Structure 1
């Protein structure tokens, strides 16, 4: 199992980064944890 952290300062940049990573069809996504503190968006993706 591996982990990938994605961070974006705006919703638009965060969505682009997240969608780009998730578009890799060779990955088996296990879980996605999302967080939105005050100034940025972040996600932790667990995958195989």
Structure 2
């Protein structure tokens, strides 16, 4: 369980790199968000489309 929780720290540490990789990708991609998911739900869709 501790390894899973460390993901939160990694997310903060590497956010710019991970988001940059998605924004700068030159290949088509599809991200799936379940609207009621508290982690990658409705609030994330705005970030992907802006």
In the superposition, the TM-score normalised over structure 1's length comes to 0.29
- Larger gyration radius, structure 1 or structure 2: 2
- Structure number with greater CO (CA < 8 Å, separation at least 6) is 1
Greater helix proportion: 2
